Structure 1
Amino acid sequence: MLSCFVIDDEQGAIDLLINYIKKTPFLNLVGSTTNPLEALQILRTQSIDLIFLDINMPQISGIELMPILKDKCQVVLTTAYSEYAVYGFEHNALDYLLKPISFERFLKAAQKALNNTLVSNSDWQQSEKEDDFLFVKTENKGKMIKVNFDDLIYIEGLKNYVSLYTKEERIITLLNIKDLEGRLPAKQFIRVHKSYIVSIKNIKALDSNQILLKDMKAYVPLGDTYRTNFFDVLNKNMMGSKR
C-alpha cells in the first residue's frame, strides 16, 4: 500500500485524482490541498510515498517544489502543458500526466510507483540477509557512501536529515530516522531517544540519563520513552545493583 498526496490549485483536478486513487487498491490517500505552501508544512511531518503534483500553481510551482522534495518521495507531475515534460524528468519526476488525465494513464503511473517500491524493498531485504552495510546518498548530488554497520557508532536525527557518526567521519544524508531505524539490524543498534540511535557494542558507560560511546567525547541522551527497552536489551549483561 502506497500513501499518496495530491497538490493542485484546482479543486476539480484534485477531485478527479482522489476518485482514481480510491479505485486503485494499492493506493491510500493521506490528504490533498490547493495550497502548495500548506503542502510543504504537511510533508515535513508526514511520511508520504507518492505525490501527484501540479506544475502551474500560484505562490510556488511544481517545478520549484521538486528540488525541495528531492528524494523524500516519488513524484508524478500533472499539467495541461506538454512542454513542461522535459523539466519534470530533469528533476527526477517518476512520470508526467497530461490533463485531462484518463484512469488508464493514471493507473500506469501508479503501477510504476508501486513497482519501484517493490524493487527497492526487495533489494533491501536481499541486502539485509547477505550484507552488513548500506549505501547512503550524501549532500553532494550523485555521490553515495558505503557505511559498514560495524563502523557506525551512533546516528542523530536532524529534521529531514540524519547524521551518521563513525570514528573517522560524520555523514549527512536525506533520510528519516524512523525509516533508517527499520533498516538497521536490531541486534546491533538500539533507539535511545527520539533523535538518536546507538550501536550497542559501542556503549562505553551510562551516567544517569546520559550514554557515553566509545571514541566519542559527547554524551547521547537516554529518553524516558526508550529507557525501559534500553535496559531490557542490556539487562542480560548487567552486573551489580539493580536499576
Structure 2
Amino acid sequence: MLSCLIIDDEQGAIDILSTFIEKTPFLNLEGTTSSPIEALSIIENQTIDLVFLDIHMPQISGLDFMPLIKGRTKVILTTAYSEFAVKGFELEALDYLLKPIAFERFLKAAQKALNANIEPSARWQPAEKEDDYIFVKTESKGKMMKVNFADIMYIEGMKNYLSINTKEDQVVTLLNIKDLEERLPARQFMRVHKSYIVSINKIKAIDGNQILFTDMKAYVPLGDTYRSAFFEALNQKMMGGKK
C-alpha cells in the first residue's frame, strides 16, 4: 500500500485524483492541499510514498517544489501543459500526467510507482517494459518531438545542442550528450566519440575509423579513446580475422 498526497490548486483536479486513488486498491490517500508550503510540512512529518504534484501553483511551482523535498518521496507530475515534460523528468519525476487525466493512464503511472517502491517478488503485477522512446524539446518554441529509440541511427553533440539523426529525419534539441547517453538503453547505444553516440543495431560496417550505417550515406568517426571499448562490445558478434 502506497500512501499518497495530492498537491493542486484546483479543487476539481483534487476531486478527480481523489476518486482515482479510491478506485486503486494499492493506493491510500493521506491528504490533499493547495499549498506547497503546507505540503512540505506534511512530507516532513508523515510517511508519504507518492505525491501527485501540479506544476502551475501559487507560491511555488511544482518544478521548484521538487528539489525542496530532496527525494523523500516519489513524484508524479500533473499538468495541462506538455512543454514541461523534459524538465520534469530531469528532476526525476516518476511520470507525467497531462490533464484531463484518464483513469487508465493514471493507473499505469500508479503501477509504475508501486513497482518502483517494493521488491520485485512482492509486486502487485509485473513491472512495465523498459521505455522505448523519449520526448525532446525542439528549436521551435513550445514544440516537442517524440523520438523512438528504434529509429535513431546516431546522435551528434554540437556544443550546447544535440542532433538526433534517424533515417528520415533530424531532430535538434537543447541537451547535453552525457545526459542523453544516461537515458538511452546501454544494450542498444554506445558512445564512440566525444561527440557521437551510435545505435549498435544500425551499424552496417566499420571501415578503419569510420562507422557506416544501413541505408544511410552518413558516417560517424570512431575516436581512439572509445575504440577498445567499442570493439570489446562487438567481440561476441565478430567472426574471423583481427580487428
TM-score, length basis structure 1: 0.51
The aligned runs of 1:2-41 (5 Å cut-off) are none
**Distance between the aligned counterparts of 1:206 and 1:112, measured in 2?**
48
1:111 aligns with 2:111: no
**C-alpha contact (below 8 Å) 1:94/1:113 kept by paired residues:** no
1:139 aligns with 2:139: yes
2:94 matched to which residue of 1?
122
**Distance between the aligned counterparts of 2:207 and 2:220, measured in 1?**
10
Letter in 1 for 2:202: N
Q: Deviations over 1:67-96 (max 9, x none)?
A: xxxxxxxxxxxxxxxxxxxxxx9xx9966x
Q: CA deviation at 1:206?
A: 0.6
1:59 matched to which residue of 2?
none
Sequence identity (%): 62
Q: CA deviation at 1:147?
A: 0.6
**C-alpha contact (below 8 Å) 2:210/2:220 kept by paired residues:** yes
Q: CA deviation at 1:110?
A: 5.3
Q: After TM superposition, where is structure 1 displaced by more than 2 Å over at least 4 residues in a row?
A: 92-95, 112-124, 126-131
Q: CA deviation at 1:191?
A: 0.6
CA distance change for structure 1 residues 109 and 171 in 2, over 3 Å: closer, same or farther? closer
The aligned runs of 1:27-106 (5 Å cut-off) are none
Letter in 2 for 1:198: V
Which has the larger helix fraction? 1
1:199 matched to which residue of 2?
199
TM-score, length basis structure 2: 0.51
SS at 1:187 equivalent? coil
Q: Deviations over 1:159-193 (max 9, x none)?
A: 11000001110000000000000000011111100
Q: Which runs of 5+ in 2 are unaligned?
A: 1-59, 76-87, 97-111, 113-126
Q: CA deviation at 1:240?
A: 1.3
**Distance between the aligned counterparts of 1:219 and 1:203, measured in 2?**
10
Letter in 2 for 1:120: E
2:170 matched to which residue of 1?
170
SS at 1:142 equivalent? coil
2:239 matched to which residue of 1?
239
CA distance change for structure 1 residues 240 and 131 in 2, over 3 Å: closer, same or farther? same
